């Protein structure tokens, strides 16, 4: 267990820059508390103001936690969320950052992920790739994705690209650990066409068969394939079906493993998400956020191939 303690300590010090004067909140649920305890014990060696909270289990990524959790997050200097489902794109995370906190999320993380894969990538290489893609996103107006004879188009005009490098050291910053992606909130009603998802989907895992998504005016209308009904059920009938995110993987050590925390970072992939995007510059509020990973697409920004 000592090597896991050392990995946790490296993340707390290196990625999050936790100081002895700071309040550190380790937030978890019943399924991830064993891993969270490793970080809690490592945190205590840095700051005596380390807290450990087991929150009620969420049903899906993007769902808001109870108010007691949100309140505690807003009053911590650093929050590390080691949970089954993601709190990244929630109002609770956004509120904590607006109060000056730093928030890192590790949804669905496993012991295997701590020991290999995305977490052990070249940090400088990730920062360079992420920065490159964010610049391209900021300059783009229209995006077109081509995969398997299907095409999806949407607008990102006047939307801002978000870098996620896994380095979260300044007040108000947030991101995944491990990380390595650049993402943006598309104009919600602008997406039209079809996209073939053949990687993985959050809360579902690696796909055995591709899933064809049909989108009209930003709304997911059909999901054709064995996992289609489950995806639609996760998203619900309301705003959960609106396009929320376009992201680009930039971590060359990440492995497609069925956990979207790592899958969406895989170099050479892109992902489309549906549901909430208000926390990162969009206009859609929904109690869900589900990412869909696409392997080896061809992507055009304003008519120019970039991937």
Read off the pLDDT of each residue in 188-201 and give the average, rounded to a whole number: 98
CATH number, domain 2-108: 3.40.1830.10
Determine the pLDDT at residue 185: 98
Residue 300 and residue 248 in contact, taking contact as beta carbons nearer than 8 Å:
no
pLDDT tens digits, one per residue of 126-163:
999 999 999 999 999 999 999 999 999 999 999 999 99
Q: What is the pLDDT of residue 8?
A: 96
Contacts of residue 8, Cβ cutoff 8 Å, sequence gap at least 6: 38, 39, 41, 42, 43, 114
The mean pLDDT of 41-66, rounded to a whole number, is 97
Query: Shortest CA distance to 227 belongs to which of 214, 217, 239, 213?
Result: 213
Which pLDDT belongs to residue 281?
Answer: 95
Sequence-ordered strand ranges (E) for the chain: 24-28, 50-54, 78-82, 102-105, 142-147, 150-155, 162-164, 174-176, 181-184, 192-197, 200-201, 205-206, 211-216, 219-224, 243-249, 269-275, 289-295, 298-301, 304-305
- Sorting pLDDT into bands at 50, 70 and 90, what band is 93? very high
Peptide bond before residue 178 is cis, with ω within 30 degrees of 0: yes
Residues in the chain: 307
| pLDDT reported for residue 231 | 98
**How does pLDDT run across 18-44, given as a tens digit for each residue?**
999 999 999 999 999 999 999 999 999
Mean pLDDT of 101-113: 95
Q: Which DSSP symbol is given to 278? A: G
Q: Are strands 78-82 and 24-28 parallel, antiparallel or unpaired?
A: parallel
* Domain extent listing, the chain: 2-108, 118-305
pLDDT at 1 over 80: no
- pLDDT tens digits for 211-269? 999 999 999 999 999 999 999 999 999 999 999 999 999 999 999 999 999 999 999 99
Q: What percent of the chain has pLDDT over 90?
A: 96
Write the DSSP symbol of residue 68.
H
pLDDT at 156: 98
Q: Mean pLDDT score of the chain, rounded to an integer?
A: 96
Q: Is the pLDDT of residue 205 over 80?
A: yes
């Amino acid at each position: 267990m000592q090597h896991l303690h050392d990995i946790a300590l490296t993340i707390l010090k290196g990625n999050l820059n936790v100081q002895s004067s700071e309040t550190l909140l380790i937030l978890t649920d019943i399924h991830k508390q064993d891993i969270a305890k490793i970080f809690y014990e490592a945190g205590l060696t840095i700051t005596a103001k380390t807290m450990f909270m087991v929150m009620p289990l969420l049903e899906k990524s993007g769902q808001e936690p109870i108010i007691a959790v949100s309140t505690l997050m807003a009053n911590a200097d650093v929050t590390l969320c080691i949970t089954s489902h993601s709190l990244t794109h929630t109002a609770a995370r956004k509120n904590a950052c607006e109060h000056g906190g730093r928030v890192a999320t590790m949804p669905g993380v496993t012991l295997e992920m701590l020991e290999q894969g995305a977490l052990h990538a070249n940090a400088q290489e990730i920062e360079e790739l992420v920065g490159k893609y964010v610049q391209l996103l900021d300059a783009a107006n229209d995006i077109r994705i081509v995969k398997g004879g299907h095409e999806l188009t949407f607008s990102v005009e006047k939307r801002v690209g978000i870098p996620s490098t896994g380095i979260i050291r300044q007040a108000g910053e947030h991101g995944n650990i491990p990380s390595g992606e650049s993402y943006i909130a598309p104009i919600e009603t602008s997406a039209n066409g079809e996209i073939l998802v053949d990687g993985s989907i959050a809360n579902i895992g690696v796909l055995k068969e591709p899933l064809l998504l049909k989108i009209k005016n930003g709304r997911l209308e059909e999901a054709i394939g064995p996992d289609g009904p489950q995806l639609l059920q996760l998203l619900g009938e309301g705003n959960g079906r609106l396009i929320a995110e376009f992201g680009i993987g930039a971590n060359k050590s990440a492995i497609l493993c069925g956990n979207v925390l790592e899958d969406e970072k895989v170099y050479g992939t892109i992902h489309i998400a549906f549901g909430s995007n208000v926390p990162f510059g969009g206009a859609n509020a929904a109690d869900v956020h589900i990412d869909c990973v696409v392997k080896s697409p061809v992507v055009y920004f304003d008519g120019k191939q970039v991937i």
